[in-house]
Amino acid sequence: MYTDFGENLRKLRKSMSMTQSQLGKKCHISGTAVSKYESGAVKPSLEVAVEIAHHLNVSLDTLFSTQTKGTLSLQGLTEKQTEILTHLVELLRVQNVRQSHLMTSEHCEVIGEIVIEFSGT
């Protein structure tokens, strides 16, 4: 479980373009401690894990989960951008269940929203 924690920590930290030292400063621990957590050499206390999760903007479940493959970080997106992308993901799930490869008009509308929202126009 802590091996997954270390791997997840490293991936999440890097996805935020943060160094071990930067994360350590935010969490009031050393960069060396972050390195040891990532390598699995040391296990973080619950308090430190909560602090890390807070600064990475994820839940403890995400930080400790073995299910992080296939997840996308929405860190840094606006609430509107997150809503649009979540809507598209749900549409694609329904499409996969139906085993359909055709885009519906609703898919096109959501993709249009994405283009508008992310282009700033």
Angstrom distance (rounded) from CA 59 to CA 87: 21
The number of domains in the chain is: 2
Quick: pLDDT tens for 21-80: 999 999 999 999 999 999 999 999 999 999 999 998 888 888 887 654 566 777 778 888
Give residues with Cβ within 8 angstroms of 82, minimum separation 6.
Answer: 74
Residue 48 within a domain: yes
Quick: pLDDT tens for 100-112: 778 888 888 888 8
Whether this prediction's pTM lies above 0.95 is answered by no
Same domain, 7 and 52: yes
Closest Cα partner for 109 from 84, 77, 81, 79?
Answer: 84
Same domain, 10 and 56: yes
Residue 103 per-residue DSSP state: P
Res 68: pLDDT: 47
Are the C-beta atoms of residues 27 and 55 closer than 8 Å to each other?
yes
Quick: pLDDT tens for 18-37: 899 999 999 999 999 999 99
Question: What CATH number corresponds to the domain at position 31?
Answer: 1.10.260.40
